[in-house]
Amino acid sequence: MAKQMLIDATMGRRTPTAPWVPYAGVNGAYLIQEKADRYFQDPALLARGVVEAARTYRADGIPLLFDLSVEAESVGCGLEYWEDNVPSVRTHPCDGQTPEAAGLRLPEKSSGRWPVIFAAAEIAKPRLDEMDCAMLGLVTGPLTLASHLAGVRIFTAVKKDPDFAHAVVRFAGEIGGRAAAFYAEMGCDIIAIVDPVASQIRPETFREFVTPNCAASVRAIHAGGCASSFFICGDCTKVVEEVCSVGTHAFAVDEQMNLNFIRDIARKHGKGFGGNLKLTLALSLGLISPREDALISLAAGGNEGYTFAPG
């Protein structure tokens, strides 16, 4: 395991080999034979699952948790917990009103599940350090969090009701800044802004709504001395240049992208890059050979700024 190598790759630097990050999220619950609903609400279980995932997969870095409902819950969205999946956001307090009109407040360390996550980090961090494994904090990105706050209408509001959309996404960005500061305080080595739905908008919409509302998170991550990344899902071909402009050290994509294309864009912008292992087709379902997929990814990614990881 090699924490520094992962930090170096995230910063876009050359590394002896490509570091490895299995983005084990709810899988941590499976590894310790626990139900997901308990796992996500119990610091001891969460810490045990994260450490077990790092040990099982011999990870160079591991997310403390991969759950994009944390920030939403901490400002008043209702969640539904599942025994075998991450929680889902059920209610949207900004459905039809701005955060201000809904009376929403930025989260404190005592809000929602943040105390659980702080406590889990306190247990997990020294154990991960012993294994020389980086701890990653994942912050919900502004557009995804805005969709939790306002529901799917946020996607039409960016065109039809931009003032409302700005109010919600701006608030989501401020929440992201708080969350990033929390993860830095917990001792995370790398913090990523995770905005899976940001691939689903025009580049100019990305520039208008996503980029400025990542600034608070990026500032908090760098102020905390951490390396930064931006995770995006889906076909991000049209917005990937924008992704390189949000100010993070690195970015990561999912299995839909061509890694050669991503590598070239990342190197042009001096960014670290990662992801893209076939999470669904190879790692989860075994429909194509995980070994061959891994070899192709390693060959394409090389060892300059590349993190070997599922997408």
Partner 1 sequence: MSLEALSRLVEEGEAEEAGAAAKTLLSDGQDPLGMIECMTRTMARVGDQFARLEIFLPEIMLAGEALSAVVAEMAPYLEKAGGQRIRGKIVLGVVKGDLHEIGKNIVKLILETNGFQVEDLGYNVDALAFVKAAEAMGADIIGASSLMTTTMPRQKEIIDILKEMGIRDRYKVIIGGAPTSRLWADKIGADLYCPDARSTPDLIAELLK
41 near partner 1, judged by CB under 8 A: no
Q: Are 194 and 68 in contact (CB under 8 A)?
A: yes
289 near partner 1, judged by CB under 8 A: no
279 near partner 1, judged by CB under 8 A: yes
Q: What are phi and psi of 7, to 5 degrees?
A: -65, -40
Choice from 13, 85, 290, 304 touching partner 1 (CB under 8 A): 85
Shortest CB 156 distance to partner 1, Å: 5
Chain positions 173 to 232 lying near partner 1, rule: CB under 8 A, are: 197, 200-202, 205
Shortest CB 75 distance to partner 1, Å: 19
Choice from 26, 65, 128, 136 touching partner 1 (CB under 8 A): 26
130 near partner 1, judged by CB under 8 A: no
Q: Which is nearer to partner 1, 187 or 310 (CB)?
A: 310
- Give the CA distances from residue 35 to residues 40, 68, 162, 175, 272, in Å, rounded to whole numbers and listed in that order: 9, 18, 41, 28, 35
Handedness of CA 110, 115, 118, 119 (dihedral sign): positive
Of 16-24, 125-133, 167-175, 273-281, the segment contacting partner 1 by CB under 8 A is 273-281
Shortest CB 276 distance to partner 1, Å: 14
Q: Are 282 and 290 in contact (CB under 8 A)?
A: yes
Q: CA-CA distance, 178 to 145, in Å (whole number)?
A: 13
Q: CA-CA distance, 144 to 276, in Å (whole number)?
A: 20
Phi-psi region of 36 (alpha: psi -120 to 50; beta: other; left: phi over 0): alpha
**Per-residue interface string for the shown chain with partner 1, residues 44-73, x marking contact by CB under 8 A:** ------------------------------
- At residue 230, the 3 state secondary structure works out as strand
Of 80-88, 130-138, 223-231, 257-265, the segment contacting partner 1 by CB under 8 A is 80-88
Instruction: Name the helix (H) or strand (E) containing 167.
Output: helix 162-186
38 near partner 1, judged by CB under 8 A: no
Q: Where are the beta strands (DSSP E) in 16-152?
A: 61-63, 79-80, 88-89, 134-140
- At residue 207, the 3 state secondary structure works out as helix
Q: Which is nearer to partner 1, 86 or 186 (CB)?
A: 86
HSE-CB at 211 with a 13 A cutoff on CA atoms is 17
**Per-residue interface string for the shown chain with partner 1, residues 232-271, x marking contact by CB under 8 A:** --xx-xx---------------------------------
Q: Contact residues for partner 1 (CB under 8 A)?
A: 26, 82, 84-86, 88-90, 152, 155-156, 158-160, 197, 200-202, 205, 234-235, 237-238, 279-281, 284-285, 287-288
